[in-house]
Amino acid sequence: MVLRLIERGTPLQVSVVAGQDSSEEVVYEAAFYDLHDLIRETSFTMQCAELNKNYTKLSRSATLEISFSKGPNIYTFTGRAAGKMRSDLVIVEQLTAIDTLNRRIYQRDEILVDVRVYGLPEEMIAGPNYTIPEIKPVLVDVSFDVSAGGMCILSNNVLSSEYDPYYLLDFSFSDKDRFLYPAKLVRRSKFARSRVGRYDYGFEFIFDALPDEKARLTKTILHKKLALLR
């Protein structure tokens, strides 16, 4: 992968890992805009209003860890903030080659999250506001894998609800990353892919009433996976 093959608008996750006022790692959400150096192709512009605004807080030695995903692959490289422009654009100089990580290689090491499953009446799918029901969940377990499209749960417990196949899934990756999504049960099998549980439940998230949530979940999963691979 090289810079000129990255499409305009590709979501980028940018971590400032060195050279900033704060000692804590700061993560920005950006979008690839265009090549800046058309001859050497070693610099580009990305659109990030927050980083553009905080540009003066970066030192000249500030190092950016940049990552994005395409298909089954995660791409990562480091760069340096080399300037800012109008329209919330920031110029980035590429410092290292773009490494490729195939997510399928790490499929067995998917992120595990605690999840609570509630029955969801079909008329409530349209949302757009969802709240945790006051009743007990119909299933409490740990996910086998999570993606931007859905979740798989392997469990020894039978899943049953009068509202089947529609459910409300409550899960979080951290105290700051809480998700509450309507979902449809699209797979129910007694032939689980692992010895973790006897039953294999596959859920597909329903984002019709949550247009921005799929992007938020995608970025959170990418950040968590990159943290595990470091």
Q: Are residues 55 and 117 in the same domain?
A: no
In this predicted structure, what is the pLDDT of residue 19?
53
User: Which candidate, 202, 157, 160, 198, places its Cα nearest to that of 183?
Assistant: 202
Would you give the DSSP letter of residue 222?
Answer: H
| CATH code of 213's domain | 2.40.10.220
Instruction: Provide the domain limits for residue 169.
Output: 110-229
- Of 3-7, 153-157, 192-196, the range with the highest mean pLDDT is 3-7
Predicted confidence band at 105 (pLDDT cuts at 50, 70, 90)? very low
Task: Using the Cα atoms of residue 75, residue 88, residue 173 and residue 213 in order, give the sign of their dihedral.
Answer: negative
Q: Identify the domain boundary among 81, 103, 125.
A: 103
Q: Identify the domain boundary among 83, 103, 123.
A: 103
Portion of the chain with pLDDT greater than 70, in percent: 86
Q: Are residues 9 and 119 in the same domain?
A: no
Q: Are residues 85 and 165 in the same domain?
A: no
Q: Are residues 115 and 210 in the same domain?
A: yes
Portion of the chain with pLDDT greater than 90, in percent: 34
Q: Identify the domain boundary among 44, 70, 103.
A: 103
Predicted confidence band at 197 (pLDDT cuts at 50, 70, 90)? low
Q: Which of 50-59, 157-166, 175-184 has the lowest mean pLDDT?
A: 50-59
User: Which candidate, 77, 163, 174, 180, places its Cα nearest to that of 120?
Assistant: 163
Q: Are residues 114 and 221 in the same domain?
A: yes
| CATH code of 46's domain | 2.30.110.10
Structurally, the chain folds into a number of domains equal to 2
C-alpha 79/C-alpha 88 separation (Å) is 18
Q: Work out the average pLDDT over 63-92.
A: 86
**How far is CA 164 from each of CA 20, 30, 105, 171, rounded to the nearest angstrom?**
50, 39, 33, 19
In this predicted structure, what is the pLDDT of residue 34?
94
Q: Are residues 165 and 131 in the same domain?
A: yes
pTM (whole model) above 0.75: no
Q: Are residues 169 and 94 in the same domain?
A: no
In this predicted structure, what is the pLDDT of residue 91?
94
User: Which candidate, 161, 176, 159, 186, places its Cα nearest to that of 220?
Assistant: 176
> Does the pLDDT value for residue 189 go beyond 50?
yes
